[in-house]
Chain A
């Protein structure tokens, strides 16, 4: 997932980075095909070059050696609302047919079954970043027909990178469709992980496995303690 997400980033792009797998993907891209990627963290670090994998979005390693550190009012007003962010990375407990994301509650808002952390910057990132990439593992619970609560609207979602393949938002229908499979994965496996009748592109894209360089960077340099990598 981290390598597939990294390949979605072009050199020189300005990326609003989330914590966890997106952060791993951005730092992998920066060390491989996109050395001029500009990483902006909502904590205020611009052009960060973290020398260790940040556990939190406000890690001190994001500050040391960055190009700029600004207050959060500037992050949201001068960078995000100003339209300076090309790619935004989001995750979520639920992603639905239209690409809307829920990170707020499972169940009704007033009487939640599970109280999740809430928006953070996710609402405004989804509204202002030019292209949204979502990273999430497939399961019918995580991919319902409709989310219980729209934290982030889906209009700008370009792709959803899952553990089995990649979904894209179809411009005409506005819904997520299967666009590519990982090697050895069948279409039925992806459909089984989604709570609506998933449509497919007429021709599915091929998603190459990680190269040996990717694996070495991920396992030995970027996440040696396996904070985010499972294997």
Chain B
């Protein structure tokens, strides 16, 4: 299925959506497609909104943001996010990383909430009334609770999957497994489509099973400017450059015009930047391999 079709079919106005991936494997391709299809009133959830949600906020897709760390990693601020929050035009619901991870864990296990030992002495529960507490029935200890997060759609970028959607990821795993299992619908975007035999040759590497996947899309370099371990490096220069672009509304609008609205998809986006391939293509570092025999 094309990314255009997958987004048209599975992402609707007003949806609660998750594009996960902690620094690694962030589906910019899907975010850009959602911007192109002009989805509105979305509740965007992610631990780290990153540049992709900054772009979606700037493009007017978001009504609300649910998050735990909203910065440009190693660089500074997400300026579209900051303008929206400081201007009061974006609703926010804020947790810590552990809180967000716990929300996905509850959602994935289809429990109403998750308990964690957290938030004592912090102002976060006062800022977000959804952070509550419960008394442990065994020990009497007060434990923090966060509600389950069950998105309408979760979009995960991965190194490879088979046509059915059995999806393999290596490198940083983030919270993609929990987010996918918590979701009503799951779109998987991959660098490579592989035969089912490849998946079966190394089943421990499968993070997301076909049973929970709604659509599989092949989109090489779909995570740029984030990265895909073993395929291409993170484009740190782009992250640094985003500081200048996102500070200025006009520059940001110009960026969206050229690299999002101005292209039909990833292939065109990549064709505009031919030097990315040589600059970011990953080197070789093979693992030792294991014996699955019995």
Contacts and interface: CB of A to CB of B under 8 A. Distances in A.
Nearest to B94: A118
A76 B85 contact: no
Contacts of A100: 121
Contacts of B98: 76, 80-81, 121, 123-124
Instruction: Bin the interface of chain B by size.
Output: 35 or more
Contact of B74 (A56, A113, A152): A56
Instruction: Bin the interface of chain A by size.
Output: 35 or more
B22 A120 contact: no
Contact of B172 (A43, A73, A114, A155): A43
Contact of A64 (B119, B126, B285): B285
Interface in B213-255: 227, 229, 233-234, 236, 239
B211 interface: no
A123 B118 contact: yes
Nearest to A71: B173
Interface string A142-172: 0000000111110100000000000000000
A224 interface: no
A23 B207 CA distance: 29
A207 to B, nearest CB: 27
Nearest to B228: A60
Contacts of A114: 86
24 contacts: A44-B22, A45-B172, A55-B236, A58-B23, A58-B24, A58-B172, A60-B24, A63-B171, A69-B170, A71-B173, A76-B102, A76-B116, A104-B94, A112-B86, A115-B81, A115-B85, A116-B71, A117-B71, A117-B77, A118-B71, A119-B97, A121-B96, A123-B98, A127-B120
Interface of B: 22-24, 47-48, 67-71, 73-74, 77, 81-82, 85-86, 88, 94-99, 101-102, 104-105, 116-124, 126-127, 170-178, 227, 229, 233-234, 236, 239, 282, 285
